[in-house]
Amino acid sequence: MEFLVASAIGVLTAAGIYLVLRQRTFPVIIGISLLTYAVNAFLFISGRLTLNAAPVLQDGVSHYADPLPQALVLTAIVISFGMTAVVVIIALGSWLACQDDLVDTPPDGDGPGGAR
């Protein structure tokens, strides 16, 4: 089970890095989201994969799930949602200003996608 989860995290990370290195804005946003999912899965798995375990400590229970990674992932999900919203608004502003979604558009308008 650990190999499957580690492989999934590796695939998410590789796809995210590939998309972040693209020239257009939309694939970069999707790549950042995939990297966020990979980090969230890594944080969640850092608390060990336990089945049929109590979520909190109780008297007489020695096998329990660690709630700290779950809290960290919940916080990371909220932060990533806010970050994605900000990046989408910045990309929309860039599109409205330049009528192009190239990431490396020069500000002086000399290259492709510059001010026309």
87-105 pLDDT, tens digit per residue, is 899 888 888 888 877 777 5
pLDDT number for residue 60:
73
59-87 pLDDT, tens digit per residue, is 776 776 777 888 888 998 999 999 999 98
pLDDT number for residue 104:
72
Q: Is 103 helix (H, G, I), strand (E, B) or coil?
A: coil
CA 3 – CA 64 distance, rounded (Å): 22
DSSP 23-82: SBHHHHHHHHHHHHHHHHHHHHHTT---SS-BSS--TT---B--HHHHHHHHHHHHHHHH
Q: Which CATH class is domain 2-50+65-98?
A: mainly alpha
Domain residue extents for the chain = 2-50+65-98
For the entire predicted model, the pTM comes to: 0.73
